[in-house]
Amino acid sequence: MPDEDAYLMLSGIQHFAFCPRQWALIHIEQLWADNVHTVIGHHVHERVDDWTEDETRGNVRIVRAMPLVSAQLGLRGVADMVEFHRVSEEADDTVQLDGRDGFWRVIPVEYKKGAPKPDDRDEVQLCAQAIYLEEMLDVRISYGYLYYDTVKHREEVVFTGKLRERVHQISKQMHKLFAEGRTPQVSYGKHCGSCSLEALCQPKWSKLGNHSASVYVRNLIAEMEE
């Protein structure tokens, strides 16, 4: 893994799972555009990502906007919410908290707009958060929750060996592409219609080939100025 200065953003792992090209456009080429999906997503996270909120409800402590760093993955970011559930006995999935009695089970919770998705991008992001927390707190985390704002429902995600391996593989691919400064070629599919970067990516543009979207944008601006 790279030095800390070269750590990539945790949020990118979800972008990469959705589309490696989308990830590269955002994190390598620094391109971004909002659509209705991203705007709604921003509003959902604004309601939960308040780092000043640290509350306890009975035997559950809730920490919001918790900073995360992983040397294993070479990534850094923020967890929407981490719940600590007090249990009666110590185990390999519990930690002790400063100033609080007892043992606490660690459960990451990620907030999403809409409903559960047909791919695994949300599960991958949540699992990455669990790997971060395991590394930071020296604890084992077997599951977490995805909360979908539209359906107002939590989906449990079990962090299987297969899911953990996918997280590690995506992380390696992200670092490789970032080090090379390379944007993957277009892989056009149904998912392109929901991407906020479709107009910048131009996935149907057959001549795009290995050229980056930033090259396309510069050429388009040049044509408009002629």
Per residue in 8-27, pLDDT (tens digit) is 999 999 999 988 988 988 88
Domains and CATH numbers, the chain: 4-181 (3.90.320)
SS (H, E, C) the chain: CCCHHHCEECHHHHHHHHCHHHHHHHHCCCCCCCCHHHHHHHHHHHHHCCCCCEEEECCEEEEEEEEEEECCCCEEEEEEEEEEEEECCCCCCEECCCCCCCEEEEEEEEEECCCCCCCCHHHHHHHHHHHHHHHHHCCCCCEEEEEECCCCEEEEEECCHHHHHHHHHHHHHHHHHHHHCCCCCCCCCHHHHHCCCHHHHCCCCCCCCCCCHHHHHHHHHHHHHC
Does position 1 have pLDDT exceeding 70, yes or no? no
Percent of the chain with pLDDT over 90: 54
Q: What is the mean pLDDT of residues 57-73?
A: 93
Which residue did the predictor score with more confidence, 120 or 42?
120
Per residue in 154-209, pLDDT (tens digit) is 999 999 999 999 999 999 999 999 999 998 887 767 777 667 776 677 666 634 45
What per-residue confidence (pLDDT) applies to 86?
96
